[in-house]
Structures are given as C-alpha cells and as structure tokens.
C-alpha cells in the first residue's frame, strides 16, 4: 500500500545516501594515504638516486626512531684520583688526560682479534669495559677506543683510550680520558632515518659513485668539545667503502641532518673560531697623543 | 510475496544503520598527522624591532652652497633627509662612469649646489630600495658609499639629481628625483641652514677629509647601564634551550653548549659570542642578500639595542658589522665591544658577536669644548694614511668602583685604513687654550 511504496522510496533514498557517504569516507582515507606516501616517496626517490650511482648498502638499522641528547662531565683525573694497578708512572695532561706507563708490559695474544683488545681494557684500564674498539693502527702500534653508553659510541676525545704496544706485542703505555655523570635528557627527539643520513652525505658529494655503505651505527658526538660539561647529539656514524676499497667514516647529526666533521683538525679549527671570539675582540683601538707641530 | 514487506523493512533498517555508522565515522575521522616540531611562535626579544633604514644611516652630511662648505652630523638632520627620501620616487638608475679617480670624486663632492651623504661602508643598491623607491624593478648589483644630491637644475626641472658613487668600485650611477618646492625647501635647504662651516683637508691622490672649521662643544655623558642576561641570549640563540649545558670557565667567562653550538659570555667586557660551527660557509652570496639576512637575524630578536648603524661588510667572508652610535657620534671602547658583528653561514647564522650592555639613562651631563677638526688635522703628524677624522665618544669606566657606570667622553678619532681607530687625546692639542682638564 502506501506504506509499502514509501518504504521502497526510503530504501532508494538511503541507498543513494549511503553510496555518497561511503565515497566520502574513501576520499578521506585516500588523502591520508597520500600524505603518508609523501614521506615514502622521497625515500623511494633517494633509493633510486643512490641506485643510479651504484651506491649500495647492506641492511640499515631501521628500528631506531627516536633518541635523546645526553650530557656528561669530563673526569678530572688529577683531582679525583683512581686506583691504578701495575703502573710504573702516572702523569696528567690538562687534568683530564691520564697517561699511564705499565710496570709490567701486558701481552696482546692476537693483534688481529678485537676480543683480545677488549680483554686488555677490561682487565687493566679503569672503567675499561665501557670503551669500544674504534681503530687499530698497525703501522704505529696503537689502538684507539671510544667510550660507550647504552651500547652507543660517543665519538669524542673526552672519552678515549689509546694504547701503545712494542715490537713484542706488549702494551707498554696507555692514555685515557673519561666522561662521567652521563645522563640522558628526558625528551626524546625524532631522528633521521639511516637512508636520509646517507642522502645528506651523498647530496654534499661526499659519497662517490660505486661506493658501499658498510655499516651505520647510532652514537653521539659534539662539536663543542673543550668544555667541562658537554652535550652530545645523537649522531649517525656512516662507514663507506669507496670504489678504491678505502674505508671512510662520516658523521651526520641525527636530529638536524647536518654533516658533522669530527676529524681532529676540523675540531681544532672550530675551537679556534670559538676562542678567537674571546681573545681577539673586534679591532681594539688605541690612544695617541698628538704632538703639536 | 508475503515476506516482501518484511524484507523491505529489514533492508531499510540496515540502510539506516549503515548511514548512521558512515556518518559517524566520517565525522570522527582525524588522521594522526605527525606534529610539526620546532615552530616556535613566541619569539623572545631583547629590544624593539627596527626598520632597515634606521641602520642604513650616513654619518655625515656635507653641503656645498654659495661657495661655502657646510656640514652636519646631527641625527635629527640626517633623519630629516632619510625621511623625505622615503617618500620620493626616483626614475631609472643610469650608469654614468667607472674608474673614477680620487680627484673626480673630490670635485664631485665640492661642486656648488650639492649635498653629499657619507656612508661608513658600501651600501648594496638593492638594499637601498627599502629607503628610496625606483621606477625600475631590478637594480644592478652594485654598491655606493657616497650619495650626492644635486639641485643645480632644480629651478628649471623641479627635480634633483642623485649621484651614487662607490669608493670601492669607483663607479658612478645617477637618477632623477622629482620633488615639490615645499618639500625641497623644508628638507634640503633646511639641513643646509642647520649646518656649520666645514673645512676640506686636501690630500694628494686621495679622497679629501672634511672636518668642522670651528671648535665644537660636545656633551659628556655618564650612563648607568643595563645588561641583557646571557640566559636570555641562550634562550634566543639555541634551537632547544632545554638541552643547553652551562660551564663556568672562570670568574668572568661562562660557556654554554648544546653539542652543536657554543656561546661564550664574558662578564667583564659584557660581550656575547655565539658560534654555530656546522653552518660555516664560504659560498658566494649577493651583498644585498647578505645584508638582509644579517639584519633580519638580529632584528627578529630585537637585537639592535641602541643606535646601531651598518659600518662594515666583507661579502667574501659573509661578515656584516654594526657600530653603536650615541647622541650622533660613534662610540669606541677598549674595555668592551661597541659593535654587533654577524658572520652568515649556510642559510643560518655562523657567528654572532655583540655587546650585551645597553646604555640606559644618562645621569650626569657636562659640556666639553673640543678643538676644531681643522686644528686636529694640523696637529696630526700626517693625514695621508688615514681613512677619516671623526668626532666620537670614548667609552670608559671612570669610576672603577661602580662597574655599572660607563662614561662617554667626547674625543676626536682617526679611523685607520684597516678599520681600527685611534683616539686623539686632547691634552696636547691646545688643551690649556680651551680650558680642558
């Protein structure tokens, strides 16, 4: 009857309405996906560009999304004495650097083996287990270790151990600096994806064609190293193997995406610029008495 | 056919429910966008923001009228001209000459019916657009250090000629500017009337020096000073001031760092030095862009805390400097800095050096009589190797016990060719004669 007819009309009307609503809903969804894709698109683009230049990389650590800044204090070894065994002579440089000559040299059983070095540090160096092997220089018989916090390396001269050995592979001397009171700031910062860090270097022409990214690790660095209390920025360490088979190390600030130059000469340069401002105040004038002619 | 009505009812019911669900889901749908970080809306300021033309001021106006050389350094007169200029519009800028010799520049300045504005350093033409309007949109990338205003043709054409001379590039550009009689009289003629006699000190193969002919009476000021706390600068300059660590290096020196940048505050000299090493850049940059970047950076936090005027730039090194002026005169000091200096980096500041004190209120004023510039010029052993002789203030701490008190002592200074200054103490230039201490 009438009610039946109106029911039919209602069904048609609601059908149309629902189709409309559903398409609206789909639209919203598509928008969101587009927004998300934007980020991904850039990433794909980077990958494509790197591929064009035959820059390859192994598995990147893609599970780290945020990290916090940390701060630490340079330990004053001269003031704050530590007990060191097997030492013939202990001296200090700038209060914070400990230089120890061993009474009885300690043999490193296998110079090719990282573990042997780490064992030496654990047994012979104060807080030795918090350092991680960075570089072995077979030509000048020395190895360097950077301090670590939560398994992340602090690429900094203020948390560094350098050991020296003689021809019999016996460690005779080491130097040490140490950061203490290391604290993480509460606020976690969103950090750059590894591929973006690679791109930062690539865009600056630092990674050449046919290179391989061999390793990426998240660590910490500072560009202002000569203060007592220091702040360290989450930093990507990027190891690159060039087409000539040489290994290069780069660092990228993982928060701001800026390449940071941490090699010693550059750090000194930066310090000079900072010091300059203190010592060389803008062109100071002078006074003269002018004699009457 | 019996169930058809029931099925219809059921379908209708379903459709109604579905439409409700859809409506609801569309309504409540909010995509979880990542919040955009770092958009600090609230900008901390240490002073008032300024207009660009306030730092682009000449330090001297010289006029040549009826064969007399007149000049003034009063801010009120300089402002009068700059203000009028802002309402004028110039025609096209025409290139006239290059390779100007010293003689040509000198004679251009001391031609009758002309006025010259002396700028401390080369001003980029495009920067000057913010002071004077031109009929052409893109000006040549050039600079000028002297602006000569010529009104010799005014009675015929009702317009005056602006000549832009660059001491560094040795170029001359000119443009015509129409101006009403009223405006002309009340600005340019008025400034001429307010000016005092000047003397030209001629030099062989060099630009002449211009100094006042008569002895001048200049007030000496004793100021109590205010200081902008280093903590305020810390909040302004560091990206995230929460992570900044403070290091007290000595009694007077404090260093702040966030791992990427460093700021040193020196309490004894009352200066701040901020460095952001990662942004160092030596990329080529247009002089006008460099100036604008530097000015905007300082002005955004109201950093021009006094009468700071643009006095130096090194485009290759991206350096821009502003000199503190007080009561019309530049202020020089050996105990603190009276200059703001910026070094621009890769799209952001690389180094920012500045005084942190502000001259607050003068509480003691006494007049001092200084010898005439002409006498100073005569007393100097040689005027060949200097850039300029100017009146200025020598900022010092006369009361050692009150370190919040600075004294501005009026003195004559020579500006040397390397930009450094020498204070000419007045004892030997006829001190007794003028009743000085």
Locate the domains of chain B by residue range. 52-212, 216-222+361-434
Judged against a pLDDT cut of 50, whether residue B303 lies above it is answered with yes
CB contact under 8 Å between A290 and B428, yes or no, is yes
pLDDT tier at A279, thresholds 50, 70, 90: very low
pLDDT score recorded for residue A255: 87
For an interface test with A, give the residue of B262, B319, B341, B415 to mutate (most A CBs within 10 A): B262
pLDDT score recorded for residue B383: 86
pLDDT score recorded for residue B70: 93
pLDDT tier at A35, thresholds 50, 70, 90: low
Together in a domain, A116 and A135: yes
pLDDT score recorded for residue B139: 84
- Helix (H/G/I), strand (E/B), else coil: A132: strand
In a domain, residue A289? The reply is no
For A118-175, write each residue's pLDDT tens digit.
888 888 888 888 998 888 888 888 889 999 988 899 988 889 999 998 888 888 899 9
Å between B72 CA and nearest CA of chain A: 25
Report the distance separating Cα A19 and Cα A3, nearest Å. Answer: 24
B311: tokens are: 């006095």
pLDDT score recorded for residue B35: 53
pLDDT score recorded for residue B434: 36
Q: Which segments of B34-170 are extended strands (E)?
A: 60-65, 68-72, 89-90, 94-97, 114-124, 133-134, 143-150, 159-166
Portion 128-187 of A in contact with B at CB < 8 A: 185, 187
What is the arithmetic mean of pLDDT over A32-56? 72
Report the distance separating Cα A278 and Cα B249, nearest Å. Answer: 12
CB contact under 8 Å between B257 and A222, yes or no, is yes
pLDDT tier at A289, thresholds 50, 70, 90: low
pLDDT score recorded for residue A208: 83
Other Cβ atoms closer than 10 A to B317: 11
Judged against a pLDDT cut of 50, whether residue B431 lies above it is answered with no
For B136-180, write each residue's pLDDT tens digit.
878 888 999 999 999 988 888 889 999 999 999 999 999 999 999
CB contact under 8 Å between A18 and B22, yes or no, is yes
In a domain, residue A293? The reply is no
In a domain, residue A10? The reply is no
Portion 44-73 of A in contact with B at CB < 8 A: 69, 71
Structural element, H or E, at residue A147: strand A142-149
Portion 249-278 of A in contact with B at CB < 8 A: 253, 256, 258-260, 270, 273-274, 277-278
Report the distance separating Cα A220 and Cα A71, nearest Å. Answer: 10
Which of residues A177, A198, A228 is at a domain's end? A177
pLDDT score recorded for residue B9: 87
Percent of chain B at pLDDT above 90? 47
What is the arithmetic mean of pLDDT over B194-221? 91
For an interface test with B, give the residue of A8, A14, A286 to mutate (most B CBs within 10 A): A14
Together in a domain, A64 and A84: no
Report the distance separating Cα A22 and Cα B340, nearest Å. Answer: 62
Note down the domain range covering A209.
Answer: 56-69+185-278
For an interface test with A, give the residue of B260, B266, B354 to mutate (most A CBs within 10 A): B260
Together in a domain, A61 and A199: yes
Together in a domain, A115 and A171: yes
- Please give the backbone phi and psi of residue A284, each rounded to the nearest 5 degrees, phi first: -75, 145
Together in a domain, A192 and A212: yes
How much is the mean pLDDT over chain B? 87
Residue in chain B nearest A232 by alpha carbon: B259
Judged against a pLDDT cut of 70, whether residue A280 lies above it is answered with no
In a domain, residue A3? The reply is no
CATH number of the CATH domain containing A190: 2.40.128.690
Q: Using CB atoms, which residue from A28, A253, A277 is nearest to B353?
A: A277
Structural element, H or E, at residue A139: none
ipTM score: 0.71
Together in a domain, A247 and A216: yes
CATH number of the CATH domain containing A170: 3.30.310.160
Which of residues A156, A177, A198 is at a domain's end? A177
What is the arithmetic mean of pLDDT over A245-266? 79
pLDDT tier at A1, thresholds 50, 70, 90: low
In a domain, residue A115? The reply is yes
Report the distance separating Cα B388 and Cα B418, nearest Å. Answer: 11
Together in a domain, A166 and A197: no
Together in a domain, A196 and A61: yes
Judged against a pLDDT cut of 50, whether residue B433 lies above it is answered with no
pLDDT score recorded for residue A38: 53
* Structural domain count, chain A: 2
Which of residues A177, A207, A230 is at a domain's end? A177
pLDDT tier at B430, thresholds 50, 70, 90: very low
Together in a domain, A61 and A201: yes
In the numeric block, the tokens 């000299």 are attached to B269
Together in a domain, A123 and A195: no
In a domain, residue A256? The reply is yes
Å between A199 CA and nearest CA of chain B: 17
Together in a domain, A190 and A274: yes
């Amino acid at each position: 009857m009438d009610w039946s007819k109106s029911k039919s009309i209602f069904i048609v009307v609601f059908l149309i309405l629902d189709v409309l609503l559903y398409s609206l809903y789909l639209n919203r969804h598509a928008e969101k996906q587009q927004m998300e894709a934007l980020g991904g698109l850039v990433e794909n683009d980077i990958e494509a560009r790197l591929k064009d230049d035959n820059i390859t990389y192994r598995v990147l650590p893609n599970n780290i999304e945020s990290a916090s800044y940390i701060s630490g204090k340079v330990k004053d070894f001269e003031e704050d004495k530590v007990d060191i065994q097997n030492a013939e002579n202990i001296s200090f440089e700038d209060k914070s650097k400990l230089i120890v000559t061993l009474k009885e040299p300690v043999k490193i059983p296998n110079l090719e083996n990282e573990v042997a070095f780490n064992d030496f540090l654990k047994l012979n160096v104060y807080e030795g287990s918090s350092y991680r092997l960075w570089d072995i220089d077979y030509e000048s018989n020395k190895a360097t270790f950077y301090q670590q916090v939560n398994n992340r390396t602090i690429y900094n001269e203020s948390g560094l151990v350098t050991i020296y050995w003689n021809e019999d592979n016996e460690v005779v001397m080491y130097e040490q600096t140490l950061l203490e009171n290391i604290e993480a700031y509460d606020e976690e910062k969103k950090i750059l994806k590894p591929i973006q860090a690679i791109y930062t270097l690539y865009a600056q022409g630092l990674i050449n064609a046919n290179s391989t990214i061999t390793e990426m690790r998240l660590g910490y660095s500072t560009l202002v190293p000569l203060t007592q209390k220091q702040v360290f920025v989450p930093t990507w360490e990027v190891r690159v193997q060039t087409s000539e088979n040489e290994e290069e190390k780069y660092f990228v600030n993982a928060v701001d995406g800026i390449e940071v130059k941490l090699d010693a000469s550059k750090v000194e340069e930066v310090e000079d610029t900072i010091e300059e401002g203190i010592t060389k105040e803008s062109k100071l004038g002078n006074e003269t008495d002018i004699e009457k002619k | 056919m019996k169930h058809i009505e029931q099925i219809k009812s059921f379908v209708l019911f379903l459709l109604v429910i579905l439409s409700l669900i859809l409506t609801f889901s569309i309504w409540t749908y909010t995509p979880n966008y990542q919040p955009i970080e770092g958009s600090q809306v609230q900008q901390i300021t240490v002073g008032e923001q300024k207009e660009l033309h306030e730092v682009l001021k000449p330090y001297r106006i010289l006029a040549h009228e009826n064969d007399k050389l007149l000049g003034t350094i009063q801010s009120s007169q300089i402002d009068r001209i700059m203000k009028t200029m802002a309402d004028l519009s110039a025609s096209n800028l025409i290139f006239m000459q290059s390779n100007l010799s010293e003689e040509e520049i000198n004679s251009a300045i001391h031609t009758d019916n002309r006025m010259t504005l002396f700028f401390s350093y080369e001003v980029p033409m495009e920067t000057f657009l913010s002071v004077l309007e031109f009929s052409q949109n893109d000006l040549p990338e050039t600079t000028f250090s002297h602006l000569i205003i010529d009104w010799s043709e005014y009675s015929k054409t009702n317009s005056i000629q602006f000549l832009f001379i660059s001491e560094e590039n040795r170029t001359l550009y000119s443009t015509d500017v129409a101006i009403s009689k009223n405006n002309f009289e009340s600005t340019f003629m008025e400034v001429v009337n307010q000016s005092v006699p000047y003397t030209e000190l001629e030099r062989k193969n060099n630009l002449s020096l211009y100094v006042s002919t008569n002895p001048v009476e200049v007030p000496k000021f004793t100021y109590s000073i205010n200081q902008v706390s280093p903590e305020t600068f810390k909040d302004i300059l560091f990206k995230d001031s929460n992570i900044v660590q403070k290091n007290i290096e000595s009694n007077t020196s404090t260093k702040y760092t966030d791992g990427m940048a460093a700021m040193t505050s020196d309490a004894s000299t009352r200066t701040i030095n901020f460095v952001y090493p990662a942004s160092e850049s030596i990329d080529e940059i247009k002089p006008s862009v460099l100036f604008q970047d530097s000015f905007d950076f300082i002005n955004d936090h109201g950093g021009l805390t006094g009468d700071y005027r643009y006095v130096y730039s090194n485009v290759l090194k991206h350096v821009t400097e502003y000199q503190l002026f007080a009561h019309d005169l530049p202020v020089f000091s050996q105990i603190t800095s009276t200059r703001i200096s910026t070094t621009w980096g890769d799209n952001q500041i690389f180094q920012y050096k500045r005084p942190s004190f502000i001259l607050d209120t003068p509480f003691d004023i006494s007049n001092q009589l200084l010898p005439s510039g002409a006498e100073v010029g005569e007393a100097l052993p040689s005027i060949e190797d200097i850039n300029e002789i100017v009146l200025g203030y020598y900022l010092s701490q006369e009361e050692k016990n009150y370190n919040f008190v600075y004294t501005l002592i009026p003195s004559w200074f020579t500006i040397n060719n390397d930009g450094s200054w020498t204070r000419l103490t007045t004892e030997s230039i006829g001190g007794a004669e003028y009743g000085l201490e």
